[in-house]
Amino acid sequence: MAKTNKPGAVTAVAPVAAASVLQQLQAQSGLCAPASPARKRFDKLVSELERQRGELRAWAEALPRWHERHQSQLAPLLAQRIELDVALVELLDHSDATIKLAKSDRAVLSELLCQLAGPLIEAGRVELKPLYDRHSPQDYDADMAETDAMFKQVLGAAFGLSPEDVEAMDSPDAVFEQAQARMHQQQEHVRQRKARRQQRERAKQPADEPPPLRELYRRLAASLHPDRARDAVDGQRRTVLMQRLNASYKAGDLIGLIELQVEIGLLDAAGVDALTDARLQQYNRELSRQCEEVARELAQVEQGFCADYGLDPARRLKPQQLDKLLARCKREVEADLAIMRADLRGLQQPQAFKRWLKQQRQLGDEDARFAQDDAGYWY
């Protein structure tokens, strides 16, 4: 039977955990009669929203732990890899001066050295600039200015920025930030148009079916208002619940309002079953909107995490997988370090260095052939 508590009849009820609210609302569903499509969709949307919110909470708990472990366990290994990269650049420069090489081999050596040194210099190892300048047709600063100009033009064309706007910007980062700002403006414009459309749809609702958020807010506010408190303890509890109510209403959080209803005894599974299909459809529209918003928030959290730590954004990550991800990253970096140390030891010998350089030249020739073959195809 549906709960029919009158406003002000709230009794001292122990708070119900958010995770158990959905179970309470679904417990009696379908026992008396088959659930309607609107009721089934309500259950599905509430389940999905609870899952999404749980995943957001899991990210909030997992990220500090990841950052702490990354700094203590993985960052030192990455720092070692940088030092080995620097050592390899210095070894290449030394070998160029001390080992007799063919002209073509010296060209390969110089190209390899610049490819390795460029990112290191950009990351702050400016002591490698003289080595880069010695092996490059033009100095590092000129190369970077040329590369930045090219990237600015490519980004500007990709995001629809005018040549004048692109030219006025200092760096590719500035172009990218401007492009992102424009994209966010477009997304906000789409969101506002959608919100206006939803507002027009809500305005067409019959007068006896007020919007669900406003109706729930009024009902809960009448029940929870501190003026109805029986004593100081009850008044304090009502004040806390009213704060939650106001926050949920301001955020458009239908689930938050439903949870409050369950906690204070104004709603149970039978109460949901007793709602009309028209009212359930209103609830479902609000729940669907919330699901979309939380899904966007989840995507932003995941994309930001991948960007911060240089991870592949195309791969879907779950917060529960971060410990395994960190362990795998450690194993991979440790394996890289072992190979790099062995290579550095072996490359001290001139003959081994020449064989290695020949292998690098062959790999470069294969990459060039693949690139040429791909250029002949349209995708």
Measured between alpha carbons, how far apart are the two ends of the chain, in Å? 62
Q: Quick one: 150 exposed, middle or buried, by C-beta within 10 A (0-12, 13-18, 19+)? A: exposed
CA 121 vs CA 86, 128, 131, 173, 317: distances in Å: 10, 6, 10, 17, 31
Mean pLDDT by 10 residues, the chain (379 residues): 39 41 54 76 87 92 95 96 97 95 93 95 95 94 85 71 68 65 71 70 51 82 85 88 89 82 80 82 87 91 90 85 94 96 94 93 74 44
Contact 29, 47 (CB under 8 A): no
Tokens of 6: 């009158």
pLDDT at position 289, please? 87
DSSP at 226? G
Q: Is the pTM of this model over 0.85?
A: no
Specify whether the CB–CB gap between 42 and 281 falls below 8 A: no
Q: Are 209 and 279 a contacting pair, CB within 8 Å? A: yes
Cβ count near 368 (within 10 Å): 10
- What pLDDT, on a 0 to 100 scale, did the predictor assign at position 2? 39
Looking at residue 16, its pLDDT comes to 38
Helix (H, G, I), strand (E, B) or coil at 204: coil
pLDDT at 110: 96
Do residues 59 and 301 touch, judged by C-beta distance below 8 A? yes
With contact defined as beta carbons under 8 Å apart, do 244 and 256 qualify?
yes
